[in-house]
Amino acid sequence: MHRFYVKADQIQENNIIIRGADVNHIRNVLRMDSGDELIICDGQGKDCYCIITMVSDREIITEIKEIKETGTELPAKIILFQGIPKKDKMELIIQKAVELGVAEIVPVMTKRVIVKLEDRKKEARKLERWQAIAESAAKQSGRGIIPQIKSVQTFEEAINHVKKMDIGLIPYENAKDMEDTRSIIGSLTGKSSIGIFIGPEGGFDKAEIDMAEKNGVIPITLGKRILRTETAGLAILSMITLFLDS
């Protein structure tokens, strides 16, 4: 069944009104009409099973038949603090991280970041593009929420952010062995919020690792091999999912 997302003000007592680009997609691409069924997600973890009652050029009105919990969200809120990579790698990272269950992605300017987003207009365009990718990935993977792509933060701002969470992890090639990583990831069950730091190309500067450790962020290894920035986050997210997604 086709799936769409709406904002809270589009949901009425027994009806949901779809507006914007989805109207054209439903009418002219999917060729749906009155009587057809679809799923509309409120973006807060609930799925509304609906039937179309009216189709027009500007909006589509549906009647709610049943409401269920989406059931696809992880029990912990995971925030990915991603050092900004070169070119279009961030787009791949966002797409796959959303599929794997992150709740938010925070682009981070670390010491070794090569890309500089000093132009506010350029940054806004990037964030808009990244948010669209997150929404598309959420639809494809059946997420109950649309993960948010936050504004760019400095490494220090990101550290202050994660201090408010239950635990923070930072993959680092000089961390202890995999047995330690298994133990730490195994202890995540029951945590409500988890922060993950991933460095850009070239990894983290030693001073950044020291700052992270001083603020309670735990260095872990992801194995004997050096992973690219677009691989590291997906690796640790997959490991965490094994323990949390039950």
- Ordered by start, the domain boundaries in the chain are 3-69, 77-244
Q: Note the pLDDT of residue 16.
A: 94
Mean of pLDDT values over 45-71: 92
Contacts of 147 (CB under 8 A, 6+ apart): 97, 98, 102, 103, 104, 105, 134, 138
State phi, psi for 120 to the nearest 5 degrees.
-60, -35
87 in Cβ contact with 176 (< 8 Å):
no
Span 3-69 CATH architecture = Beta Barrel (2.40)
Angle, CA 231 vertex, CA 84 and CA 83 arms, to 5°: 15
Residue entry with tokens 């992973």: 227
Q: Note the pLDDT of residue 118.
A: 64
Span 77-244 CATH architecture = 3-Layer(aba) Sandwich (3.40)
Residue entry with tokens 């603020």: 215
pLDDT in tens, 19-36: 988 999 999 999 999 999
Q: Note the pLDDT of residue 111.
A: 87
Residue entry with tokens 């999912």: 241
pLDDT value at 237 more than 90: yes
pLDDT value at 3 more than 70: yes
pLDDT value at 93 more than 90: yes
Rounded distance, CA 33 to CA 56, Å? 10
Mean of pLDDT values over 78-102: 95
Query: Where does residue 101 fall: left (phi above 0), alpha (psi -120 to 50 degrees), or beta otherwise?
Result: left
State phi, psi for 181 to the nearest 5 degrees.
-60, -45
Helix, coil or strand: residue 134: helix
Q: Assign 233 a pLDDT band (cuts: 50, 70, 90).
A: very high
